[in-house]
Amino acid sequence: MMLYGTHSSVRGFTLIELMISTTILLLLMLTASYSYRIIVDRWDTVLSDFYKEEQVSKGLNIVGSVLEGVHGYIVTNDKNQPKLFFVGQNQSLLSVTSSGIFSENDVEIFRLSFIEQDGKTNIIYQAKNTQVFLLLNTYQEIEFDYEITLFRDLDSAELRYYGWRSSELIGTTDPSWFNDFSGLESDLFPLLIELSFLKDGKAAVIPISLDQNVSKLFSPYIEEQ
């Protein structure tokens, strides 16, 4: 008696089927890779925008604090006359602040400068501690020890000052806006300092009011005379 066993044939992939499967797998991998790249690029853009906004916000807080701390400081000119140390221009400001960046517990001489580079504007902050440099007169040369860039690549930036150029005008005329303001000439602070700038189409304005009670600073000099 002869026994016949059942034989089940196992059929593999043909070359064409293998090529089609490989092609489909490659297309799926390319699609996934492209989608991942889009997601990563979008995330990088979001992070970049967030970082820029964070840097701008930080810079605004620092400048606001420095300007709010602008401090009445008396120096003498070449005729030994007392003068208020404040020199404001459209693209710079030289004064003294009690809220400096580098001198936490001391009064700090500072200068804000707007520097143009490649069609953009950077705002530079320079400082010197009054504990290591005694500012006495208007003709002393100030060599700043510290420097930091607060804003980079601004489209435009400017400073303006609101007030009177002379104490004789107070009460007789309305205050006005100026592109420059000198306490060395007027013995006054402006009522307001306004810093405005434009970055990536977005405008920012920082108005800061200053202490107007500076006449008491001149009292010791008046008594001496």
Residue 115 · residue 153 · CB < 8 Å: no
Give ∠ CA 166-169-174 in degrees, rounded to 5: 115
Terminal CA-CA length for the chain = 143
Q: Mean pLDDT throughout 44-73? A: 74
Tokens 């404001």, residue located: 88
Give me the phi and psi of 210, to 5 degrees please.
Answer: -115, 155
3-class secondary-structure state, position 63: helix
Residue-wise pLDDT for 129-162, tens only, equals: 999 999 999 999 999 999 999 999 999 999 999 9
Check residue 47 and give its pLDDT.
41
Check residue 136 and give its pLDDT.
93
Check residue 10 and give its pLDDT.
52
Residue-wise pLDDT for 59-96, tens only, equals: 888 899 999 999 899 999 999 999 999 999 999 999 99
Residue 113: count of CB within 10 angstroms of its CB: 15
Residue 223 has pLDDT above 60, yes or no: no
Residue 210 · residue 193 · CB < 8 Å: yes
Q: What percent of the chain has pLDDT over 70?
A: 77
Q: Name the token pair of 177.
A: 């806006």
